[in-house]
Structure 1
Amino acid sequence: MYDGQHDLPIDEFTAEFYWLSNFSPAPIDYEGELYMTVENAFQAAKTSDHRARALIRDCGPDEAKMRGLHVPLRPDWEQCRVAVMEDLLDAKFAIPALRRRLIATGDRPIINRNVFGDTFWGLCRDQGRNELGEAIMRVRNRIQAR
């Protein structure tokens, strides 16, 4: 029986789609260090300061995000941040169980909707670039093409 669910966008990374969130557990190797979430690895990638990276590596994703606001940014960060995110997502969705879940989303649009004003990585009040959702869909397209 057709329920129409498979045509709807995925626009919340909560409940059944929490696994899409960068805060969900997914061990990621970034430059030889193990991070427990994409969020931790991404925040660490912002800086070349090894001490700051260690502090970000060893906390939860909420704290990593907060700590990432206060690190000295690497000089090329603005130019490379989307590519870094996509590389981390490639690593996350190389995990077989997560890869299967991502493939199962078919071609549904993936939107990182938020209420805290992030219009670069997501959409807030239907405004924004949705760079995270776009990156996840590019990773999915590459996996599906294999």
Structure 2
Amino acid sequence: MSEQQPMFQGDLAFLSNFDTVPFFVPELGVEVPSGEHAFNALKTLDPVERQSVLDAPTPGKSKRLGRRVTLRPEWNAGVRVWAMQRVLRAKFAVPALASRLDATDDLALLETNQWHDQFWGVCLCPRHLPVPGTNMLGELLMAIRANQRGAARP
């Protein structure tokens, strides 16, 4: 059984979309200040809304603005997972971040929270504790880690 690490804090803060290491996102054609900026920008096809999200001064502000954008077609039918995959692939194409992700070894990456997010993470509030979340963010991160390891083999 793999070890588990709650939340993306401390040594694992770099895994969070709120981490502020800039990286280039090909689907957006720009460098973004955080994964949260990139994800929320990919939510919409409207160039004004997208730029507003990208110009937000913090990841939190970007997230708040992203809640009000015009969602691209099929957003809730799988496009949001596609968008997060693109964000994470771009972020972990940065060699220093790829190395840090690889250094998590076989740690089960769980995006635990208290804000009732059972899709991207696992909510630990009393109401959700009996029902495990999907932990899609953690699953995507572990898939990228596995793919990077496979690509590194001769």
Q: TM-score, normalised by structure 2?
A: 0.86
Partner SS state of residue 5, structure 2: coil
Q: Aligned-pair distance for 1:107?
A: 1.2
Q: What residue identity is the alignment partner of 1:139?
A: I
Structure 1 alignment gaps of length 5 or more: 1-6
**2:43 equivalent in structure 1:** 46
Is 1:84 aligned with 2:79?
no
**1:118 equivalent in structure 2:** 117
Is 1:66 aligned with 2:64?
yes
Correspondent of 1:23 among 18, 32, 36:
18
Percent identity between matched residues is 37
Maintained 8 Å contact 1:34/1:57: no
Is 1:109 aligned with 2:102?
no
**Structure-1 separation of matches of 2:74 and 2:32:** 22
**1:3 equivalent in structure 2:** none
Aligned length: 140
Maintained 8 Å contact 2:3/2:106: no
Maintained 8 Å contact 1:28/1:88: no
Q: Aligned-pair distance for 1:68?
A: 0.7
Encode CA deviations 1:93-117: one digit per residue, 9 max, x unaligned.
1111111111111111000000001
**2:136 equivalent in structure 1:** 131
Encode CA deviations 1:110-133: one digit per residue, 9 max, x unaligned.
000000010110000243100000
Q: TM-score, normalised by structure 1?
A: 0.91
Is 1:13 aligned with 2:14?
no
Partner SS state of residue 34, structure 1: strand
Structure 2 alignment gaps of length 5 or more: none
Correspondent of 1:32 among 19, 29, 32:
29
**Structure-2 separation of matches of 1:49 and 1:115:** 32
Q: What residue identity is the alignment partner of 1:33?
A: V
Partner SS state of residue 109, structure 2: coil
**Structure-2 separation of matches of 1:34 and 1:52:** 17
